[in-house]
Structure 1
Amino acid sequence: MRTMADYARRSLQALLLTAAVFTSGPAMSGADVFPLHVSTDGRHLNDIFDRPFLVTGDTASSLLGDLSQEEIELYLRQRQRLGFNALLVNMIEHRFSRRPPSNFYGEPPFRDGRDFAAPNDSYFDHVEWFLRRARAHGFLVFLAPAYMGVSGGPEGWYQKMTAAGPGALKAYGEYLGRRFGGFPNIVWVHGGDYDPPDKALVEAVVAGLMAAAPNALQTVHGAIGSRVRQTWYDASWIDIDTLYTHEDTAVRAEDLYRINPPKPFVLLEGRYENEADTNAAKVRAQAYGSLLSGATGQFFGNNPVWHFAGPGVFAANSRWQDALDSPGAQSMAYLDALFAKIDWWALEPDPSILATEGGLPVNDMTIPAAAKDRSFAIVYVTDVAVVRIRRDALPPTVMNRARWFDPSSGASMEAAPIESPRSVGFRVPAIANAAGDSDWLLLLGQTEAAVAHQQQANGSLR
């Protein structure tokens, strides 16, 4: 028997799907940029118009397992407003929701306890509804068909996958490919906090997906610190590399950037805001550290937003609805607005532009990147008083267009040069930025339009 919640959910679903068909929403108005493809140089993702696509992602692991459709709409609207364009979501949830593995409406992903062998169409109707709404709001969905879990433990599906075996998993992949292969806004994410000893389980899901949806983009979410292209060295189906680290994000990202042949990569997981001692400044450092070191995007994470009303790994100090406008999320909005006005895809990590003292970098918390043609450069700093740029590293026209950018507020101000024979120095505006943290960005060259756009964006974010 259906409950009132079931009828309410079905009514909302019908209303929104009708609106998507008969109104000029994003997916129908020419703003739909999907599907994406890998650029010819292998460095980033391009949209359907062959324009570089910067992945500005939010981690929403438990969305499909935990939220009602009304709550999903609230979440999508808010994340779209802040400039996010990608979501990391588990298709099926094993632990981090209120009633796993069933969704908000009590629908399990599989019938009669036959994990992977008997998909429940009603459950996947809800998934399909979400994917349509995500596309209408302009979101790329990094979708995990079966999150495996840390060390293959009870957080994820690895043990159930082992019990089901490759045959059932391939059939599951084929079901997903037939059902969702027509959605151009999916990147399939295999693994999940784990490098499985038996890769045949993942390969079976991939084979099933590719049989029904051969053009779908695929990637892997490995264990923390692992290197996907080493662990999955013979997996030709991987289109996008990923970085998962809690330390030295810029160093690890640059390592991936230097691998040949190149492959686009994203920071898929780092530290989450409000977990352990991670604050907005730390999530900013990993976001800018990855982007200025060659990544084609990065994912932000917040506790409790990633698990919503379900259990998390760390205690949550607020409701997920109240955390949507967290300082970290606001910082990602300023990042997105800034990068939207620069040719970010032309940047490459370039420590050579920094002046050195005694042959050593001025500070290991200085992360520099420059355009290949030296038309502009960006330097992200933490706990640094003065950034010194080699005088011969950039043209005078670039050095003369310098501004400081506060990544915690989106504010900017002129950067006065400190001249010396071999370098030009720029002193940070203050020890602390607007949030009381010590991180700043030095923008050299192509900055005026970006800053003007940023100042406009600030008003709409508050």
Structure 2
Amino acid sequence: MSRLRGLLLVAPALLCLGTARGDEPHRFPTGVSADGRHLTADDGEPFFYLGDTAWELFHRCDREEAERYLADRAGKGFTVIQAVALAEVDGHSVPNAQGHLPLVDLDPARPAVADGPGNDYWDHVDFIVDRANALGLTIGLLPTWGRYWHDPVKDGKPLFDAANAEKYGEWIGARYGAKGVIWILGGDRNVEDDGQKAIIDAMARGIKKGDGGKRLMTFHPRGGQGSSKWFHGADWLSFNMRQNGHNADYTGAYENTRPDFDLSPPKPVIDGEPLYEAHPIAFHAERNGHSVAADVRRPFYWDVFSGACGHTYGHHSVWQMWKPGRDPINNPLLPWTDALDDPGAGQMRHGRRLIESRPMATRVPDDSIIVVDRVKTAVPGAGRYRFVATRDRDGSYAMVYAPIGRAFSVRVQDAVKAKKVRAWWFDPRNGHAEAIGEFANERERRFVPPAPGEALDWVLVLDDASKDYPPPGRVPPAR
């Protein structure tokens, strides 16, 4: 077996490929591929879901703040912004930044609307959704946070029952169904009985009446769960959403994405809430500290290479739009306006560009191309250092995510169906691609990342040389 190390074969070809493209057309997800594996946009082409959690966007941000946030996320290559209409942090009873409440007498069947523009809570939501769409961003719109259908809120009961959930769903579906939105039901709660399930089904039914069934719909559960547990067979569920949660380990958390990919009938899957940047890891800061960019990069590749149709990023300060003078939740480290520039957010686009630089429609997960080491916990590994792989179903390329600079071997002939293979190292930290070289295909080949022994992650990209694909991360010009 050959021992291949990029810096020793050829002069490195370093290419900075992670910058956002200003010529991107505005594309909104409206469908699911025929094989049930990925989302498609209104142009019929695959859509990569790169989300950010801005749960309190409608509630806590004024218009200037909302514009600042949306412009930043559009510039960093995000495609979906997840925000909540009836927000978690007392959005039912504390007015928004414009001084308005969303409901009359806490009744979901009576949204508080007033004549004229800019006069009510929903006018503010309109402004933010429209501004996001103008920037090419889809709003992952949660009609409500889960507490309002799950927990006692008013007179010892939730705000929602099946009847008002359907009415509210029809109203909000009609108001926003013609815009660039995805519906996300649930809101960090699990279904625990038939009554709660009836509320969710009723809200979905109402939304479909309101928007004519035009928009995609999913369900956001609590940590460690996925929508498939309750709704995989529901006709309204377009794709599954997981919350793999605020953990830093593949084992016991992100390994759960692949089983959802393997379900029948197939539906796309997305991790709608992984570990946030600067979040107490596993909610135990005193033991684990707070996450850093490396901790949020790994879940991107674990999820996407395990079959997810994209990924969601989050920052612990940004989701709650925390700033001094506002009660902090779980100790955010810095104001949200400063947190926008924490490195993990900018690094998400490198992963998106990597996936988009190769055919997306035929990509499947396949860890079997990684040769298991004598010590299995080293390769493919476990915990924070689990290797994962994805490949083209037609055999034109494969990718292996190495979360650490540890040598590993690949079954190249199983990964790429070509006589000659072109190899690259891709740096998830900066989007650089480094050419390794070309070689005749063979059964197995060993690779050593450019920084061996270090806690630095890399992606090995193997291409059918005859395809002449661009360097990894360099996306072909927009159609």
Name the TM-score, length of structure 1 as normaliser: 0.83
Q: Answer yes or no: is the 8 Å Cα contact 1:398–1:444 preserved in 2.
A: no
Secondary structure of the equivalent of 2:241? Answer: strand
Q: CA offset at residue 145 of structure 1?
A: 0.6
Distance 1:286 1:100, change over 3 A: farther
Q: Answer yes or no: is the 8 Å Cα contact 1:87–1:141 preserved in 2.
A: yes
* Corresponding residue number in structure 1 for 2:136: 138
Distance 1:54 1:312, change over 3 A: farther
Matched, 1:373 2:391: no
* Corresponding residue number in structure 2 for 1:444: 462
Aligned pair count reads 420
**Rounded Cα–Cα distance in structure 2 between residues aligned with 1:158 and 1:401:** 62
Q: Answer yes or no: is the 8 Å Cα contact 2:29–2:42 preserved in 1.
A: yes
**Rounded Cα–Cα distance in structure 1 between residues aligned with 2:58 and 2:462:** 43
Q: Answer yes or no: is the 8 Å Cα contact 2:419–2:440 preserved in 1.
A: no
* Corresponding residue number in structure 1 for 2:83: 89
* Corresponding residue number in structure 2 for 1:179: 175
* Corresponding residue number in structure 2 for 1:428: 449
Q: Which amino acid aligns with 1:349?
A: P
Deviations 1:296-315 (A, max 9, x none): 11110002011113545321
**Aligned pairs (5 A) from 1:31-430:** 31-34=25-28, 36-95=30-89, 101-111=94-104, 113-121=105-113, 122-149=120-147, 152-153=150-151, 162-183=158-179, 185-196=180-191, 197=193, 198-215=196-213, 216-246=215-245, 247-248=249-250, 249-276=253-280, 277-309=290-322, 311-357=327-373, 362-364=379-381, 365-395=386-416, 400-415=421-436, 422-430=443-451
Secondary structure of the equivalent of 2:402? Answer: strand
Secondary structure of the equivalent of 1:242? Answer: strand
Secondary structure of the equivalent of 1:73? Answer: helix
Q: CA offset at residue 64 of structure 1?
A: 0.2
Q: Which amino acid aligns with 2:170?
A: E
**Rounded Cα–Cα distance in structure 1 between residues aligned with 2:425 and 2:411:** 18
Deviations 1:33-72 (A, max 9, x none): 2351111111111111110000011111000000011111
Q: Which amino acid aligns with 2:121?
A: Y
Q: Answer yes or no: is the 8 Å Cα contact 2:139–2:182 preserved in 1.
A: yes
Identity of counterpart residues, as a percentage? 28
* Corresponding residue number in structure 2 for 1:20: none
**Rounded Cα–Cα distance in structure 2 between residues aligned with 1:421 and 1:229:** 40
Q: Which amino acid aligns with 1:88?
A: Q
**Rounded Cα–Cα distance in structure 1 between residues aligned with 2:471 and 2:80:** 22
Secondary structure of the equivalent of 1:189? Answer: strand
Q: Answer yes or no: is the 8 Å Cα contact 2:367–2:388 preserved in 1.
A: yes
Please give the root-mean-square deviation of Cα atoms over the aligned residues, in Å.
3.0
**Which is helix-richer, 1 or 2?**
1
Deviations 1:160-189 (A, max 9, x none): 873443222222112212222222x11111
Secondary structure of the equivalent of 1:223? Answer: coil
Q: CA offset at residue 423 of structure 1?
A: 1.8
**Rounded Cα–Cα distance in structure 2 between residues aligned with 1:58 and 1:411:** 23
**Rounded Cα–Cα distance in structure 1 between residues aligned with 2:371 and 2:161:** 57
Distance 1:164 1:78, change over 3 A: closer
Q: CA offset at residue 101 of structure 1?
A: 3.4
Q: CA offset at residue 250 of structure 1?
A: 4.6
Q: CA offset at residue 195 of structure 1?
A: 1.4
**Rounded Cα–Cα distance in structure 1 between residues aligned with 2:380 and 2:243:** 24
Distance 1:35 1:289, change over 3 A: closer
Secondary structure of the equivalent of 1:80? Answer: helix
Secondary structure of the equivalent of 1:200? Answer: helix
Distance 1:391 1:95, change over 3 A: closer
Secondary structure of the equivalent of 1:204? Answer: helix
**Rounded Cα–Cα distance in structure 2 between residues aligned with 1:304 and 1:52:** 31
Secondary structure of the equivalent of 1:442? Answer: strand
Q: Answer yes or no: is the 8 Å Cα contact 2:151–2:157 preserved in 1.
A: no
**Rounded Cα–Cα distance in structure 2 between residues aligned with 1:452 and 1:317:** 32
**Rounded Cα–Cα distance in structure 1 between residues aligned with 2:125 and 2:471:** 37
Q: Where in structure 2 are there 5+ consecutive unaligned residues?
A: 1-20, 114-119, 281-289
**Rounded Cα–Cα distance in structure 1 between residues aligned with 2:440 and 2:374:** 19
**Rounded Cα–Cα distance in structure 2 between residues aligned with 1:409 and 1:391:** 26
**Rounded Cα–Cα distance in structure 2 between residues aligned with 1:452 and 1:225:** 31
Secondary structure of the equivalent of 2:470? Answer: helix
Q: Answer yes or no: is the 8 Å Cα contact 2:402–2:457 preserved in 1.
A: yes
Q: Which amino acid aligns with 1:232?
A: F
Q: CA offset at residue 359 of structure 1?
A: 9.8
Deviations 1:165-221 (A, max 9, x none): 3222222112212222222x1111111111133222222222221222231321101
**Rounded Cα–Cα distance in structure 1 between residues aligned with 2:294 and 2:75:** 21
**Rounded Cα–Cα distance in structure 2 between residues aligned with 1:203 and 1:223:** 18
**Rounded Cα–Cα distance in structure 1 between residues aligned with 2:82 and 2:453:** 33
Q: Answer yes or no: is the 8 Å Cα contact 1:150–1:192 preserved in 2.
A: no
Deviations 1:313-336 (A, max 9, x none): 321221111111211112112212
Distance 1:43 1:284, change over 3 A: same
Q: Answer yes or no: is the 8 Å Cα contact 1:342–1:450 preserved in 2.
A: no
Secondary structure of the equivalent of 1:355? Answer: coil
**Rounded Cα–Cα distance in structure 1 between residues aligned with 2:56 and 2:360:** 31
Distance 1:452 1:405, change over 3 A: closer
Distance 1:312 1:161, change over 3 A: farther
Q: Which amino acid aligns with 1:106?
A: G
Q: Where in structure 1 are there 5+ consecutive unaligned residues?
A: 1-25, 457-462
Higher relative contact order (CA 8 A, sep 6+): 2
